[in-house]
A and B are shown apart, each in its own frame.
Chain A
Amino acid sequence: MHTGRLTIEEIRRAIAFDQPKLNATQDGSDFIVEGQYVLVENTGSVSPAGPLTAFDIRIVTGNRYPVQEPEVFETSGRIPRSPDRHINGDGDCCVTVWEEWLTISGDTTFAAFLNGPLREFFLAQYWFEKTGKWPFGERSHGEKGLVEAFADVLGTQNKKQNVIYYLRILSQDWPKGHWLCPCGSGKLLRYCHKADLMALHSRLSPRMAKRMLKRLKSQQR
């Protein structure tokens, strides 16, 4: 994961050319990025016809990005406020399951966020407006969606108990060989998926595993 504190300069550099209609300001340790997010089909070259569309947005983030998840609001009301459109009443967009992106993305800079999940979210919204379909699929609402996302990251069955057990093992600095393997075979880890698990352990830090556990817990209502 990209570490070091996010600065207003990094944000400005990220939007300077790619998003000239966004404007970044600082308020204490908060950063607010506001204006029109232009949706282009390619991140590199330009289309003769210009951008596909633009969404009015406000991003609120802080210098603890990317540990801290940025909040994204759609401000014009263009997207109907409904969980089925992945947006809350106040325009708060559920862009993606943050921990999933942090874990699978090699680049978690602010620029990568703008060109990755944020672009995919608004491209998906645009596609839904036109066709009523989600081009990249969608997560279930609430806890169920979290479990799905985490199960995808772990490459395991989409079952809550299973995901929790897996995350508990990964949240330890040194997973023990005499624990039961999370694959459900009933065998000891050392005789089962030890190599796979250790490979995952090196990609997904104990800290991240704890964070994911906590997230699951806070989602239980």
Chain B
Amino acid sequence: MTIHKNKNAKTHDDVLEEIAGAIDIPPSQYEEAVSRYETLGNWLDRDQSTIAQYDPQIAPQGSFLLGTVTRPLGDDEEYDVDLICLLKVAKKDFTPKGLKETIGHEVKLYAKANNMSKRPEEGRRCWTLHYADDAQFHMDVLPCLPDAQAHQLLLERRGHAALAHDQSLSGQAIAITDWTLPQYEQLTEDWPLSNPIGYAAWFRGRMVAQLTEGKKRFAKSQMITASVDDIPDYKVKTPLQRAIQLLKRHRDSTFGDNEHKPISIIITTLSAKAYNEEPTISEALQTILSTMDQFIEYHGEEAWVLNPVNPEENFADKWAEESKKRENFFKWLEQARHDFALYLRTSPFNEMPEVLKEGLGRRTVDRTLDTILAAGAAMITAPAIAKATANDAELERAEAAITNIRESGSQSKPWAK
């Protein structure tokens, strides 16, 4: 939740911050979602619950945990809140199907007890809970069990000792179920692995300096004397999170519901790898858009977007089977680079180029610009005075640039052949 005391934008960053805020999940809906999943957690843990003995835990994962949620493009579409449902059991206690259905049973009871009109839907890996329309979100609940030890052993054996010994990155790996796999109904050691909590820890590490800065500013603006550690992460947004929200939004506008659009985890991972704790959204976007493709690795012909907490996993593994996915990623990157650069490099902050308006969703952009530019527009001075002032301002800016170059000592002099 960001507090805006002054809605009057003065820079490109103010404008981008407002637009990112407008495509973020609103605080009220965020809190609503948290309260709903906590209720679900309490239900699973109630005395009569058939799984209470396994100490069930519900926790957020994905963009909801990373703080990079983006509002769906259409008004009738819903936010997607990703959760894990962890039971403290071992692989020998359940088949994957057994685990999925044991949890599914309780999830269905929960839906019934809460008079939810739609029944929970079973997906390949998740149970999806649909809330009433006014909630505007659904929850994907991922059944899983802890699998850190096996994962760490494997990492160690494959030569990733540093990762294996880092508890925050590999200590919360989980085993998940997948009904398309042949061993789905068998007692097996061979479960798919996932590590959303470790990924989030890595992601947080990529922006921790700006996160701390943001919290300090937040404490100051709220007149809170509490230490930075007491402020929850979701209260502030770093330039990295804002940049990712804008990029995902641009992706959604560019591709609509094209099934081969670049996936969020690829955009998020490459952005976080490229990000260098830039203090502003515009600088973050410049760095990310200029360099994110350099973090794609090539193993022969095959493109790899490495999962930073599981070096065996390629987030771009589908590119090999479906070349459109690969093409679309690079097409999108070129377009995003161009659209954002056109705004950031060639436009004044209060004139957003049409292509970027289109890329970020025209309605959202227009509505946001109306609010934050209205105050400034009301203060327009008489044209003649405005022109003279503008000319002085330009000269001042040019002079500053000249001084900068002179001070760097590397100026070149024009010549004539």
A189 to B384, CA, bound (A): 66
A134 to B290, CA, bound (A): 33
In the complex, the answer to whether A123 meets B401 with C-beta atoms within 8 Å is yes
Mask of B261-303 contacts with A, CB within 8 angstroms, 1/0:
0000000000000000000101100100110000000000000
Query: What residues of chain A lie closer than 8 Å to B412, measured between beta carbons?
Result: 95-97, 100-101, 116-117, 120-121, 136
In the complex, the answer to whether B402 meets A50 with C-beta atoms within 8 Å is no
In the complex, the answer to whether B414 meets A54 with C-beta atoms within 8 Å is no
In the complex, the answer to whether B398 meets A20 with C-beta atoms within 8 Å is no
In the complex, the answer to whether B345 meets A46 with C-beta atoms within 8 Å is yes
A84 to B290, CA, bound (A): 38
A13 to B289, CA, bound (A): 11
In the complex, the answer to whether A42 meets B417 with C-beta atoms within 8 Å is no
B410 at interface, CB cutoff 8 A: yes
In the complex, the answer to whether B345 meets A38 with C-beta atoms within 8 Å is yes
**Contacting residue for A45 out of B283, B290, B411, CB 8 A:** B283
In the complex, the answer to whether B398 meets A51 with C-beta atoms within 8 Å is no
Query: In chain A, what residue has the closest Cβ to B11?
Result: A48
In the complex, the answer to whether A138 meets B414 with C-beta atoms within 8 Å is yes
Q: How far is the CB of B239 from chain A (nearest CB, A)?
A: 12
B406 at interface, CB cutoff 8 A: yes
Count of CB-CB pairs between chains A and B under 8 Å: 145
Query: What residues of chain A lie closer than 8 Å to B397, measured between beta carbons?
Result: 41, 47, 49, 52
In the complex, the answer to whether A40 meets B345 with C-beta atoms within 8 Å is yes
A44 to B348, CA, bound (A): 16
In the complex, the answer to whether A86 meets B415 with C-beta atoms within 8 Å is yes
In the complex, the answer to whether B342 meets A137 with C-beta atoms within 8 Å is no
A149 at interface, CB cutoff 8 A: yes
B90 at interface, CB cutoff 8 A: no
**Contacting residue for B337 out of A16, A45, A135, CB 8 A:** A16
Query: In chain A, what residue has the closest Cβ to B279?
Result: A45
In the complex, the answer to whether A17 meets B417 with C-beta atoms within 8 Å is no
Query: What residues of chain A lie closer than 8 Å to B346, measured between beta carbons?
Result: 20-21, 36, 38, 50-51, 54
Interface size range on B against A:
35 or more
A219 to B400, CA, bound (A): 36
Query: What residues of chain A lie closer than 8 Å to B398, measured between beta carbons?
Result: 41, 52, 123, 126-127, 130
**Contacting residue for B415 out of A18, A21, A44, A138, CB 8 A:** A138
A77 at interface, CB cutoff 8 A: no
A161 at interface, CB cutoff 8 A: no
Query: What residues of chain A lie closer than 8 Å to B411, measured between beta carbons?
Result: 120, 136
In the complex, the answer to whether A20 meets B413 with C-beta atoms within 8 Å is no
B320 at interface, CB cutoff 8 A: no
Query: What residues of chain A lie closer than 8 Å to B10, measured between beta carbons?
Result: 48
A13 to B397, CA, bound (A): 27
**Contacting residue for A136 out of B345, B405, B416, B417, CB 8 A:** B405
Query: In chain B, what residue has the closest Cβ to A123?
Result: B401
A162 at interface, CB cutoff 8 A: no
Mask of B339-380 contacts with A, CB within 8 angstroms, 1/0:
011101111110100000000000000000000000000000
In the complex, the answer to whether B345 meets A18 with C-beta atoms within 8 Å is yes
A137 to B286, CA, bound (A): 33
A94 at interface, CB cutoff 8 A: yes
Query: What residues of chain A lie closer than 8 Å to B290, measured between beta carbons?
Result: 13, 16-17
B153 at interface, CB cutoff 8 A: no
Nearest 3 CB-CB pairs, A to B?
A: A86-B414, A50-B348, A96-B412
State the A residues within 8 Å of B (CB): 13, 16-21, 36, 38, 40-42, 44-52, 54, 83-84, 86, 88, 92-97, 100-101, 104-105, 116-117, 120-121, 123-124, 126-127, 130-131, 134-139, 141-142, 145-146, 149, 219
User: What are 8 A-to-B residue pairs whose CB atoms are below 8 Å?
Assistant: A16-B338, A17-B289, A45-B282, A48-B349, A94-B414, A116-B410, A121-B412, A130-B398
